Amino acid sequence: MLKSLAFTTTTVTTTTTSPLLLISSKPTSSCFLFKPLLSLSNFCTKPISSFPQTHRPISFYRAPMNLLNKLGFGSPRSPNADSSSIAQSPDDDVPAPGQQFAQFGAGCFWGVELAFQRVPGVTKTEVGYTQGFLHNPTYEDVCSGTSNHSEVVRVQYDPKECSYETLLDAFWARHDPTTLNRQGNDVGTQYRSGIYFYTPEQEKAAKESMERQQKLLNRKIVTEILPAKKFYRAEEYHQQYLEKGGRFGFKQSSQKGCNDPIRCYG
């Protein structure tokens, strides 16, 4: 319990017995591999990143998890009308000639990206944030639980080599679509299940695919199917994170067709 909190013009002090002092300034989370028949495995922790980050001096204390923000701690940025309008606009980025975009949210984007990297016909993947109300969000903003962004992978694929239905199959296999705002130990709106379509054809295929998937499960699917909104590319250290080896350099294969278990770690 926080016993005392004194403000001056330059400092903030707390008692050394406060358990809040033991909490990291960066959110932690975990992610896992969802296997057929809803078998959950490979839980892990997304630790404090050792990569440099840019912090804005707007508050004395930054809450390390969604729960603390919901309890009133921390000072995440608040979107204004202009910010919300930009963030909610359609994704107007253009794929390479002859390519198409697809967007998926299925929990922590590290493992989701690697799963799509391995799909033949996928030519590029990027992780980022979308569907929120804040323009140019940071990872800290998204993890505050107040911006409504989802962690997503934007997939660029060659429709001559990879059908959209193939991507949908990879999406369903990668996560549990029946848990609302949660994948394993990862809890928060940024981990929600979502398919974000670019064309009416993608929307139709997504809804039909979800209907088929629902018949295979004994719990209600909570996946949202919405138009693709503006895509904000995540910080560079998040890109191809597991392929590059994560925090400890344990690289995982992104070769096409690879079926090695995906281990999601910091």
- Residues 4-15, mean pLDDT to the nearest whole number: 41
The count of structural domains within the chain is: 1
Determine whether 143 is an active site residue: no
Q: How far, in Å, CA of 115 to CA of 259, rounded?
A: 9
Percent of the chain topping pLDDT 70 = 70
* Closest by CA position to 142, among listed 204, 227, 41, 231: 231
Give domain status of residue 129, yes or no: yes
Task: Provide φ and ψ at 244, rounded to 5°.
Answer: -80, -10
Give domain status of residue 256, yes or no: no
Give domain status of residue 32, yes or no: yes
Give domain status of residue 233, yes or no: yes
Give the CATH number for residue 189: 3.30.1060.10
> What are the respective helix, strand and coil percentages of the chain, to the nearest 5?
25, 20, 50
pLDDT in tens, 67-102: 444 333 445 676 778 899 999 999 999 999 999 999
Residue 256 banded pLDDT, cuts 50, 70, 90 = very high
pLDDT in tens, 169-189: 999 999 999 999 999 999 999
- Residues 232-259, mean pLDDT to the nearest whole number: 96
Range of the domain at 150: 28-248
Q: Which of the following is catalytic: 108, 143, 162, 264?
A: 108
Q: What is the pTM of this model?
A: 0.73
Give domain status of residue 21, yes or no: no
Q: How far, in Å, CA of 224 to CA of 104, rounded?
A: 10
Give domain status of residue 61, yes or no: yes
Q: How far, in Å, CA of 86 to CA of 242, rounded?
A: 31
Query: 86-124 as b/e, with b when 16 or more CB fall inside 10 Å?
Result: ebbeebeeebeeebbbbbbbbbbbbbbbbbbbbbebbee
pLDDT in tens, 187-203: 999 999 999 999 999 99
Residue 59 banded pLDDT, cuts 50, 70, 90 = very low
> Can you give the pLDDT at residue 264?
85
Residue 154's DSSP bridge partners are: 103, 126
Question: Which residue in the block uniquely carries the two structure tokens 């004994």?
Answer: 218
Residue 40 banded pLDDT, cuts 50, 70, 90 = very low
Give domain status of residue 11, yes or no: no
Give domain status of residue 156, yes or no: yes
- Residues 153-179, mean pLDDT to the nearest whole number: 98
Q: Is the pLDDT of residue 118 over 60?
A: yes
